[in-house]
Amino acid sequence: MEQQAAATAVGDRTPAEEGMPCPDLPVYEGDDLGARPDGAGAVFRIWAPTAAGVTLRLFAAGSEGEPHGAEPTETREMTPGACGTWQVRCDGAGHGTYYDYLVRFPDGTVNRTADPWARAAGVNGRRSMVVDLARTDPDGWDEDRRPRVPAHALVIWETHVGDFSNDPHGGVPAEHRGTYLAFTHADTTVDGEGDFPTCVNYLRRLGITAVQLMPFYDYGSIDESLPLGSPERGFNWGYDPLNYNVPEGSYSTDPFHGETRIRECKRMIQALHAAGIKVIMDVVYNHMFSADNWFERTVPGYALRRRADGTLANGSACGNDVATEHPMMRRYIVDSVTYWAREYHVDGFRFDLMGLIDVDTMNAVRASLDALPDGASILMHGEPWSARQTALDPQARVILADKRGLPYLDPRIGAFCDSTRDAVRGHVFFQKVPGYLTGASADYADDIRLADDAWRGTLCESAGVGQVIQYVSAHDDLTLWDKLCATMRGMPTDADYEAEGPECADLMAASRLAAGIVFAAAGVPFLLGGEEFARTKRGVSDSFSSPATLNRLDWRRARRLRGLAEHYAALIRLRRESPAYFGGARMVVPRDDDVVAFRVGDDCVTINPGDAARTQSTVDLEMPGPYDEVAKIAPDEWERLYCSCGEGSASGGDGAGESGAAACAARVDGRDLMLPPHSFVVWRRRHG
């Protein structure tokens, strides 16, 4: 009712095409949908309120192609239960039994379907599996705990399970490359030579505190039956959900036995937790692999949004949109997210195209997570946009979690800030359009000043800085390095993409400044895995199904460009040691050029994107903001703490860019701070 009042207060719903109303079907409130084993068998329950009958089929194997897998070992008719459910109990159908349903409808249609509420599945997810989850726990699982990471120390690093370890030079054994188990190797190095860390070993040195994994629920675009490493398997990011509550089988060492992927997924999370790293799961509840899915086969016309003429809405640009506002779909999403948090100890969730999910559902997810032990520490954030306009019932007054809907979200649900991204690097959809660091510094200087204060005091302001995910690249669109190449080169060469030679010094300097802006900004810093060593996809902006060789992290490149990675590591340390960077007020120094300077806590941050050296008077740094949020400091009490252009940094060599480099021109000269060209500098008040 509160949400209805909010919608009425703003006088409008989210703009959308006219959609069909939600079918008037009973809502089941029980917590026993799916297959629940006991000591002697299992109870099966499915929600199918429009069905005339449901047949349960049991199998010895997870697919028709396996031995003894073609024909069911048993069939059972299910009986009607409460609120549109059907149920049956089967003795002997315990852990490892595979099953599906035949759902019959009054018009004579019969749909074969897997179980939407299943928690395990056979190869390629076409059959569900009864699973005793206790038997999937790895050793020590009961002692696994979420890492304690204070808000100011949160740094999110995004990767894909395959990308993380597919590089043959990454030091991971061949049989574990591209799998969950790659994360369990704690001491890998490039080619096993011991001089440069890779994978989890590398993440510990980098200092990030959360890994955001692209979808690892069971998705539909990869043939899991093909051998690990087979080129015929193909590659996909995984934004095509098939079985939401089942881990993806292609990341396991044995996709034919449903319990293996569960155990190995838990081992991955356990290993990251042991390294002090949170695990954020990328989830896609806005659309499904196909409009022909288990939900629609079970309850036709319910799960997906439809326009008034009955055609499918397509706000996702993937052919279908999930009707998250329908009560049983909302209930499913809440239960699914909560299940992953409880059973797999997942620490956070990133919602793909959150702008297609209604705010009531998002807030219900937040409330359900909060009710778990330590649930308030579980992170939630998403993309506050959609690909296109969806369709909604105009009478329902639905508010979606896009930018217009952010005021109605719980303040602990964050959103990616594309305003910062585009101000720093240039327009996301026009590859050669520049931003602050790529040729239009004068045009975007004011935006950078606002971005570093998390857009507070503007129409983009969020309820709290913790809602603002600050970033310049993610898996979508060009990597940061490729965007720099596109805007600063026009026609990039192989040497540009490979970051080879002194000719790339300007690209490297811009990359360092981009990192500085993000990590000095209020909010939560986020980076695409490999951004910190100039990751390239050679200009491919949407590599969702490109070869694994293009998508995988290049660990030899990381070693070669370690100077850039060490710059990121230094910025991460700065945030960890200086809590004010997360949410402290910024006192922005007024300037009429493209230099950005602001005070935060005891520090002053300066950014000079130009080719010429500049100065910043320390007298200007004495002035407190309108609410005295920073203390006055005498003009001679400043010293350089860190500079992005220390010796070796511009070329991307081994130098860490530390302020102690003799060649660094960033210094205090009387009452002026000297700002070298293309520099990000942190100055600190001198004590004692």
CATH number at residue 676: 2.60.40
259 Cβ neighbours under 8 A, 6+ residues apart = 95, 96, 120, 129, 131, 135, 136
CA distances from 187 to 194, 203, 301, 476, 608 (A): 9, 11, 51, 30, 39
28 Cβ neighbours under 8 A, 6+ residues apart = 47, 82, 83, 84, 85, 328, 331
Phi, psi of 349 (to 5 degrees): -140, 130
Q: 201, exposed or middle or buried, with CB in 10 Å at 0-12, 13-18, 19+?
A: middle
DSSP code at position 644 = T
**Residue type present at position 130:** V
pLDDT tens digits, residue range 195-243?
999 999 999 999 999 999 999 999 999 999 999 888 888 899 999 999 9
**Do 665 and 526 lie in a common domain?**
no
**Residue type present at position 398:** V
Asked whether the predicted pLDDT for residue 368 surpasses 60, the reply is yes
- In percent, the amount of the chain with pLDDT more than 90 equals 85
CA 652/CA 642 separation, integer angstroms:
17
Helices (H), 371-457: 418-425, 441-451
**Do 56 and 107 lie in a common domain?**
yes
Q: What is the DSSP string of 334-394?
A: HHHHHHHHHHS---EEEETTGGGSBHHHHHHHHHHHHTSTTGGG-EEEE-S--SS--EE-T
CA 167/CA 530 separation, integer angstroms:
13
Question: In this structure, is residue 11 part of a structural domain?
Answer: no
Question: In this structure, is residue 399 part of a structural domain?
Answer: yes
Pairing verdict, β 391-392 and 379-382:
unpaired
Instruction: Give the CATH number, domain containing residue 77.
Output: 2.60.40.10
**Residue type present at position 309:** D
**Do 128 and 166 lie in a common domain?**
no
The helices-and-strands tally (H runs, E runs) of the chain is: 16, 29
Q: Give the count of beta carbons closer than 10 Å to the beta carbon of residue 356.
A: 30
CA 343/CA 281 separation, integer angstroms:
13
Half-sphere exposure of residue 114: CA atoms within 13 angstroms, side-chain side: 26
CA distances from 242 to 217, 396, 614 (A): 8, 28, 56
**Confidence (pLDDT) at 4:** 41
From 560, 581, 602, give the residue that closes a domain.
581
CA 686/CA 688 separation, integer angstroms:
7
Q: Which of 264, 352, 447, 532 is catalytic?
A: 352
Question: In this structure, is residue 147 part of a structural domain?
Answer: no
From 524, 554, 581, give the residue that closes a domain.
581
**Confidence (pLDDT) at 544:** 86
**Do 513 and 570 lie in a common domain?**
yes
**Confidence (pLDDT) at 431:** 79
Question: In this structure, is residue 116 part of a structural domain?
Answer: yes
572 Cβ neighbours under 8 A, 6+ residues apart = 155, 206, 207, 208, 519
Residue 634: which pLDDT band, with cuts at 50, 70 and 90?
Answer: low
Q: What is the DSSP string of 536-561?
A: --TT-S--TTS-HHHHS--HHHHHHT
**Confidence (pLDDT) at 657:** 39
CA 56/CA 76 separation, integer angstroms:
5
**Residue type present at position 492:** P
pLDDT tens digits, residue range 92-135?
999 999 999 999 999 999 999 999 999 999 999 999 999 999 99
**Do 188 and 300 lie in a common domain?**
yes
Average pLDDT of the chain, as a whole number: 92
CA 400/CA 386 separation, integer angstroms:
10
Q: What residues form DSSP beta bridges with 552?
A: none
Q: From 529, 522, 579, 576, select the one nearest 554 (Cα to Cα).
A: 529
CA 352/CA 368 separation, integer angstroms:
19
Asked whether the predicted pLDDT for residue 494 surpasses 90, the reply is yes
321-330, 467-476, 551-560, 625-634 — which is least confidently predicted?
625-634
pLDDT tens digits, residue range 508-519?
999 999 999 999
**Residue type present at position 87:** Q
Q: Which of 224, 383, 422, 447 is catalytic?
A: 383
**Do 566 and 440 lie in a common domain?**
yes
- Global pTM value: 0.94
Phi, psi of 87 (to 5 degrees): -145, 160
Question: In this structure, is residue 526 part of a structural domain?
Answer: yes
251-260, 347-356, 579-588 — which is least confidently predicted?
579-588
CB 357 within 8 A of CB 285: yes
**Do 325 and 448 lie in a common domain?**
yes
Question: In this structure, is residue 10 part of a structural domain?
Answer: no
**Encoding tokens for residue 118?**
């299943």
Residue 623: which pLDDT band, with cuts at 50, 70 and 90?
Answer: low
Asked whether the predicted pLDDT for residue 651 surpasses 60, the reply is no
Pairing verdict, β 210-213 and 156-159:
parallel
CA 546/CA 585 separation, integer angstroms:
43
Q: From 56, 32, 33, 37, select the one nearest 95 (Cα to Cα).
A: 37
Length of the chain: 688
CA 296/CA 312 separation, integer angstroms:
12
Handedness of CA 339, 214, 544, 435 (dihedral sign): positive
**Residue type present at position 41:** G
CB 124 within 8 A of CB 86: no
CA 391/CA 389 separation, integer angstroms:
7
Instruction: Give the CATH number, domain containing residue 255.
Output: 3.20.20.80
**Do 533 and 606 lie in a common domain?**
no
Asked whether the predicted pLDDT for residue 353 surpasses 80, the reply is yes
**Residue 665, SS3 per DSSP:** coil
Widest CA span of the chain, in angstroms? 88
CA 524/CA 501 separation, integer angstroms:
33
With b meaning 16 or more CB within 10 Å and e meaning fewer, what string describes 415-444? Answer: bbbbbbbbbbbbebeebebbbbbbbbbeeb
pLDDT tens digits, residue range 7-19?
434 445 688 999 9
Catalytic, 352? Answer yes
Asked whether the predicted pLDDT for residue 442 surpasses 90, the reply is yes
Phi, psi of 225 (to 5 degrees): -75, -15
CB 258 within 8 A of CB 129: yes
**Do 348 and 272 lie in a common domain?**
yes
CB 358 within 8 A of CB 325: yes
**Do 50 and 179 lie in a common domain?**
no
**Do 246 and 130 lie in a common domain?**
no
Its domain, for residue 628, covers 588-685
**Encoding tokens for residue 6?**
């909010």
Catalytic, 77? Answer no
CA 127/CA 117 separation, integer angstroms:
12
Residue 688: which pLDDT band, with cuts at 50, 70 and 90?
Answer: low
486 Cβ neighbours under 8 A, 6+ residues apart = 431, 432, 478, 492, 539
Q: What residues form DSSP beta bridges with 596?
A: 607
Q: What is the tally of structural domains in the chain? A: 3
Question: In this structure, is residue 363 part of a structural domain?
Answer: yes
Question: In this structure, is residue 311 part of a structural domain?
Answer: yes
**Confidence (pLDDT) at 659:** 38
From 581, 601, 626, give the residue that closes a domain.
581
Q: What is the DSSP string of 605-632?
A: EEEE-SSS-EEEESGGGG---TT--S--
**Do 107 and 162 lie in a common domain?**
no
Q: From 488, 512, 604, select the one nearest 561 (Cα to Cα).
A: 512
